[in-house]
Amino acid sequence: MIFSRNNRVFFVALGFVTFFVSALSLRIPSARADSILVFAAASLKETLENAGKAFTADTGTEVKFSFAASSALAKQIEAGAPADLFASADLKWMDYLDEKKFIRSETRKNIIGNRLVIVAPQSSVLKSIEFTEEAFTKALGDGKLATGEVNSVPAGIYAKSALQNLKLWTFVESRLAQADNVRGALAFVARNEAPLGIVYETDARVEPQVKIIARFPAESHAPIIYPCAVTGQSKSPEAEHFLNYLTSPKAKAIFETAGFIVLAQ
């Protein structure tokens, strides 16, 4: 077969394209194999990102995150989302996946705890608030009380339980601004769209536009516990290594600096 000059140029160019495509395809699997995808509660964002950076520095393994409400993440894992680890803001949603065999039960650990607080905008004149209808009436005025969705988002579930035990639920139920996750509730208050919010103490500490004006009594709600586990579909050998890293002295220092209560030893 006789090739013209134009044909020869075409095939040389095609050869270069094939070479580069092949080279790229060879690199992609190794990049994926060297990373972990963690689905984690929104309230863990800054803290887990810091732990992930430290883990990467120590091991070379990249840690990627998807942050949202624990309820939404659990449903995504159930639907087949490719997470390697799940870190929930409560036991309920970890139990949900455990019962359906979507996590490896033997890897499950209760890592940290948290506290439930009431926040107000930094510009608010409020410095404290009592857990009475009179105090909430005065503080809320015509505004709303922001928190997570009370039937699915852990922060909202804890908030509802605490308000019920303190005999305030009936009074505030119709005055709630419910967000898709705890950071959404925090944003309502930070933007002065709500005069009060119920969030975790660690969330309040990362948002300079809010201030803590009260802490709920520990006995007013179930303990706030963050369990973490490797998902059933994970193929990453590094997933359990990162989970174990979250109980290391380095991770403990990161959690305590952020205000979490370290549970796992």
**Predicted pLDDT of residue 264:** 73
Q: How many CB atoms lie within 10 A of CB 188?
A: 25
Could you tell me if residue 201 is inside a domain?
yes
Q: What are the tens digits of pLDDT across the range 88-104? A: 999 999 999 999 999 99
Could you tell me if residue 149 is inside a domain?
yes
**If we measure between CA atoms, which residue out of 217, 165, 157, 214 comes closest to residue 182?**
157
Domain that holds residue 1: 1-33
Residue 239: CATH number of its domain: 3.40.190.10
pLDDT at 21 over 60: no
Q: What are the tens digits of pLDDT across the range 74-88? A: 999 999 999 999 999
8, 66: one domain: no
3-class DSSP state of 188: helix
3-class DSSP state of 40: strand
88, 139: one domain: no
The overall average pLDDT reported for the chain is 89
CA-CA distances (angstroms) from residue 259 to 145, 180, 199, 215, 246? 24, 23, 13, 14, 15
CB under 8 Å to 195, separation ≥6 — which residues? 120, 121, 124, 126, 139, 140, 141, 143, 144, 189
Pull the structure tokens for residue 9.
């140029």
106, 231: one domain: yes
Could you tell me if residue 131 is inside a domain?
yes
130, 195: one domain: yes
Could you tell me if residue 221 is inside a domain?
no
DSSP secondary structure code for residue 106 in this structure: G
120, 208: one domain: yes
59, 27: one domain: no
The pairing of beta strand 116-121 with beta strand 210-215: antiparallel
19, 55: one domain: no
**Predicted pLDDT of residue 33:** 55
120, 210: one domain: yes
Q: What are the tens digits of pLDDT across the range 184-193? A: 999 999 999 9
3-class DSSP state of 132: coil
The pairing of beta strand 261-262 with beta strand 116-121: unpaired
Q: What are the tens digits of pLDDT across the range 23-51? A: 333 332 233 457 999 999 999 999 999 99
**Predicted pLDDT of residue 34:** 75
**Number of domains composing the chain:** 3
pLDDT above 90: percentage of residues in the chain: 86
Could you tell me if residue 220 is inside a domain?
no
Residue with tokens 């490797």: 230
Residue ranges of alpha helices (H) inside 130-223 are 133-140, 154-165, 169-172, 182-190, 201-206
Query: What is the distance, to the nearest Å, from the Cα of residue 209 to the centroid of all Cα atoms in its chain?
Result: 20
**Predicted pLDDT of residue 65:** 98
pLDDT at 11 over 80: no
CB under 8 Å to 111, separation ≥6 — which residues? 87, 226, 227, 228, 246, 247, 255, 262, 263, 264
pLDDT at 14 over 60: no
**Predicted pLDDT of residue 10:** 39
**Predicted pLDDT of residue 265:** 65
Q: Look up the pTM and report it.
A: 0.83
Query: What is the distance, to the nearest Å, from the Cα of residue 193 to the centroid of all Cα atoms in its chain?
Result: 23
Could you tell me if residue 222 is inside a domain?
no
Give the CA count within 13 Å in the CB-facing half-sphere of 160: 15
pLDDT at 8 over 80: no
The pairing of beta strand 145-148 with beta strand 85-87: unpaired
Element (H, E) at 76: helix 70-78
